[in-house]
Amino acid sequence: LQVTVTDPRTVALLFQPVLLRCQYQTVAPDPPPIVTWKYKSFCATPSGDTTVTSLSGDVPDVTAASCPDTTRTVRIVATKQGGVVTLGDFYRGRGVTILGGAELSLGPAAWGDSGIYTCTVTSTLDLGGNNEAVAELVVLGEA
C-alpha cells in the first residue's frame, strides 16, 4: 500500500472550494480499502492564538511549531468505504465529501478549516508500505 498527497501545502481563500488530493496504490483492490481523513488544528502560538495571519501578504509558515495532540483540536472529517461516505459530526450539513478514490472536497472553505489533514487508507489485504499522507491547508481571508 502506498499513499501520497500531491500537494502537501494548499492555500485557499475563504469561501472558495478546496480539494485535497490523496492517492493510493494497493496490490489488493478488492475489497475496496477504507479511506479516512482526519483534521488537526495548527499549534497555538505562545499567546494562545491559532489564527493564521500575514500582514505582508505572504503565506505564513505554520509548520515550524509542533505540539502534542492534546493541545489541538482533532476530529474525523470523513470516512469512505466502497461508495459510502460518512461525515464526522462537525462536517455534517457542509459540502464535504470524498471524491474518486481518496480526494477530500471541503466545498467552501471556512475559517476553522485551516490545519493539518491526514489521509489514511486501510486495506485488510495489503498491510505493507505507507498507509497515510499529510496535507496542510491554510485558509486566508479575502484581500
pLDDT digits (tens, 9 = 90+) for 21-56: 999 999 887 889 999 999 999 998 765 555 454 434
Cell numbers at 17, concatenated: 472550494
Nearest to 120 by CA among 41, 19, 24: 24
Res 61 pLDDT > 70: no
Query: What share of the chain has pLDDT > 90, as a percent?
Result: 68
What order of strands is seen across the sheet that includes strand 97-99? Answer: 17-20, 103-108, 97-99
Question: Where do the domains of the chain lie?
Answer: 2-43+69-138
- The band of 64, judged by pLDDT with boundaries at 50, 70 and 90, is very low
141: pLDDT confidence band, cut at 50, 70 and 90? confident
Q: Which CATH number fits domain 2-43+69-138: 2.60.40.10, 3.40.50.2020, 3.40.50.620, 3.30.1050.10?
A: 2.60.40.10
**8 A C-beta contact, residue 78 and residue 85:** yes
Q: Which residue has the higher pLDDT, 1 or 47?
A: 1
Which tens digits make up the pLDDT trace of 76-90?
999 999 999 999 999
For the whole model, what pTM was predicted? 0.85
